[in-house]
Amino acid sequence: MPEDSLVLRGGTFSWLFPRRSALVAALLAPLLMLLVALAVMASSTGMSPRDTLSGLLGTGDPGTVMIVRDFRLPRVFVGIMVGAALGIAGCLTQTLAGNRLATPDLIGVNEGATAAVVATAAGSSTGMIGDWWLGPLGAVAAAVLVVLCAGGAGSAGYRVLVVGIGVSTFIGAVGDLIMSRENDNTAGGVFLWAVGSLNGRDWHVGTPLLIVLLLLLPLALAVGHRLQLLRFDDDTAACLGVDLRRLRAAALALAVALAG
């Protein structure tokens, strides 16, 4: 076992963790808990730590319990889940491309989702944003277009990245053109949707996010562990028994699913 790694064993299962990563995670965990507590307490009216704790435990007055449990805590929870999903997707994309500047939005995920919503709003007689699933559907469609233009899902990461920049720029320009022809209300609603907002997010949004993240996280960890072999050249990785095309396709699919 490398000296700079920790090993997790369970029966026939074992997993290596870099010591530095484990140390950073151990330091960030209490910091995250502190930030969650501050976010739940923060408001225009202010709430004392005692009131916040009583609201979390359900022992305070009904108004405090409702504010903490039904309004503030779900928004913080959704923010953490979305941040975790985007962070994992970013790690996969960076490792796949071999570039620390690579992010999921460079493969057209964000632009595809926004273009789908803009097109739906433009085609609606009321100018309202359509069903929520149109965003992820547009993200998947954009990612598929990038993969096809790059020569397949198993193409080298840098090729997917370069093609993705061009495709995402084109899709973003089309979306901006459509939105520029809409009225202020429609354009403002689409812009707010594209930027993202935690306003009004409750447990009906947070629970599905948690389920999806719990399903995709083990797959991302398994794929990410194999992606470390891409630090070598393709011939060396292939000699080590890695199916490069299948591995790259799986990493790209997971990144799109997590970011979309």
> Where do we find the tokens 């990410």?
224
Q: Note whether 95 and 230 are within 8 A (CB).
A: yes
> Length of the chain in residues, anyone?
260
Q: Which helix (H) or strand (E) holds 235?
A: helix 234-239
The domain tally of the chain equals 2
Residue 87 and residue 134 in one domain: yes
The angle at the Cα of 139, spanning 108 to 105, to the nearest 5 degrees, equals: 35
Residue 142 and residue 52 in one domain: yes
Which CATH number fits the domain that encloses residue 88? 1.10.3470.10
Residue 89 and residue 12 in one domain: no
Residue 101 and residue 192 in one domain: yes
The angle at the Cα of 160, spanning 155 to 164, to the nearest 5 degrees, equals: 155
**pLDDT tens, residue by residue, 181-195:** 777 777 777 777 777
Higher pLDDT, 2 or 68: 68
Residue 135 and residue 167 in one domain: yes
Q: Per-residue confidence at 214, pLDDT binned at 50, 70, 90?
A: very high
Please tell me the distance from the alpha carbon of residue 65 to that of residue 57, in angstroms, as a whole number: 8
**Most confident of the ranges 49-53, 152-156, 233-237:** 49-53
Residue 157 and residue 245 in one domain: yes
Residue 152 and residue 252 in one domain: yes
Helix ranges, 98-153 (H): 109-123, 134-150
pTM confidence score: 0.80
Answer yes or no: is pLDDT of 14 > 70: no
Res 245: pLDDT: 80
Residue 84 and residue 118 in one domain: yes
Residue 21 and residue 118 in one domain: no
From the CA atom positions of the chain, what is the Rg in Å? 22
Please tell me the distance from the alpha carbon of residue 136 to that of residue 140, in angstroms, as a whole number: 6
> Where do we find the tokens 């799109």?
256
Average pLDDT, the chain: 79
Residue 18 and residue 65 in one domain: no
Q: Per-residue confidence at 130, pLDDT binned at 50, 70, 90?
A: low
Q: Note whether 249 and 94 are within 8 A (CB).
A: no
Residue 13 domain boundaries: 1-34
Out of 2-6, 171-175, 221-225, pick the least confident. 2-6
Is the C-alpha dihedral spanning 127, 132, 137, 140 positive or negative? positive
Count of beta carbons in the 10 Å neighbourhood of residue 78: 19
Residue 84 and residue 22 in one domain: no
